[in-house]
Amino acid sequence: MPEIVVPGTGISFRPFIRYIKSEFSPYKPKIVSGELFVDNDFLYLTTRVLGSPEKTFASVKKENLMKVPDSNKIGDFDNLMLQAAIHIYRYTQPYILASYYYSLKKPDDAMEIVKEIVRDKNNANKVWAYNLWGVMLADQKKYDEAIKMFNIALDEDSESVLVYNNLGNVYSDEGDYNEAKKYYEKAIDLDPQYSPSYNNLGIVYSDEGHYNEAKESYEKAIDLDPQYTLAYNNLGNVYSNVDYDKRDGSKAKEYYEKALDLDPQYSYAYNNLGNVYSAEGDYSKAKELYNKAIELDSTYSNAYYSLGNVYSAEKDYSKAKDMYEKVIEVDPDGFGKQAREKIENLPN
Q: Which pLDDT value is given to residue 77?
A: 63
Q: What is the pLDDT of residue 267?
A: 95
Output phi, psi for 115, to 5 deg.
-70, -35
What local confidence, expressed as pLDDT, does residue 30 receive? 59
pTM above 0.85, yes or no: no
Lateral strand order in the sheet of 32-39? 32-39, 42-49, 55-61
What is the rounded CA–CA span in Å between residue 111 and residue 133?
A: 7
CA distance 69 to 81: 20
Count Cα atoms within 13 angstroms, Cβ side, for 342: 27
The answer to whether 198 touches 221, Cβ cutoff 8 Å, is yes
User: Quick one: which of 74, 23, 27, 31 has its CA closest to 52?
Assistant: 31
Q: What is the DSSP letter of 64?
A: G
Low-confidence ranges of the chain (pLDDT < 50): 1-14, 16-29, 61-75
Burial, 279: exposed, middle or buried (Cβ in 10 Å; 0-12, 13-18, 19+)? middle
Q: Is 300 within 8 Å of 292 (Cβ atoms)? A: no
Maximum pairwise Cα distance, the chain: 75
What are the beta bridge partners of residue 33? 48
Sign of CA dihedral 299, 303, 306, 310: negative
Mapping DSSP to helix (H, G, I), strand (E, B) and coil, where does residue 254 land?
helix
Q: State pLDDT tens for residues 151-165.
A: 999 999 999 999 999
Rounded CA separation 146/181 (Å): 18
Give yes or no for a cis peptide into 59 (omega within 30° of 0). Answer: yes
The pLDDT score that the predictor gives to residue 189 is: 97
What single letter denotes the amino acid at residue 230?
L
Q: How far apart are CA 13 and CA 31, in angstroms?
A: 18
- Please tell me the distance from the alpha carbon of residue 221 to that of residue 230, in angstroms, as a whole number: 10
